[in-house]
Amino acid sequence: MESFVNDHDIKAATVVGMGAVNKATLRFYNPATKKYTDKTFSEQMEITNITGNISQKKGAPYIHLHVTLGRSDYSTIAGHLLSGDINGAGEFVIEKSDGVLKRYHDDATGLNLYDFQ
């Protein structure tokens, strides 16, 4: 997605999507430690929802996506989507906004927050 964002000069946008993957790496944030834990799932899963946004951090695209994935036993897993391998369909809508939406790293929370100044 980053190459698409760069090719189309997207500085601010919202993202929604659905489809299927056979591998996905999710992140989960622990506010107590201010660290993310990554876990990779290697199985066929339905992307029931992707919701997120595109902004800029230090002049580069910052793609922030949350995903819910459905497993073959009809349970779900969810988290920040770090990466995924599409297997089947991948349908995504990127709604570009005017202007530039910037982020900065906030040491107090450990998160990359919006900079509205």
| Number of domains forming the structure of the chain | 1
Instruction: Indicate the SS3 state at residue 22.
Output: strand
* pLDDT score at 20: 98
User: What's the pLDDT at 47?
Assistant: 98
Stated length of the chain: 117
Query: What's the CATH number where 105 sits?
Result: 3.30.1330.80
Domain of 6? 2-115
1: confidence class by pLDDT, cuts 50, 70, 90: confident
DSSP structure class, residue 1? -
Question: What pLDDT digit, counting tens, does each position of 14-47 carry?
Answer: 999 999 999 999 999 999 999 999 999 999 999 9
Quickly count: other Cβ atoms within 10 Å of residue 67's Cβ. Answer: 24
Model confidence pLDDT, tens digit, residues 72-87:
999 999 999 999 999 9
Q: What 8-state DSSP symbol labels residue 99?
A: S
pLDDT the model gives residue 65: 98
Give residue 106's pLDDT band: very low, low, confident or very high (50, 70, 90): very high
Positive or negative: CA dihedral 53, 56, 29, 1? positive
Quickly count helices (H) and strands (E) in the chain: 1, 7
DSSP three-state, residue 2:
helix
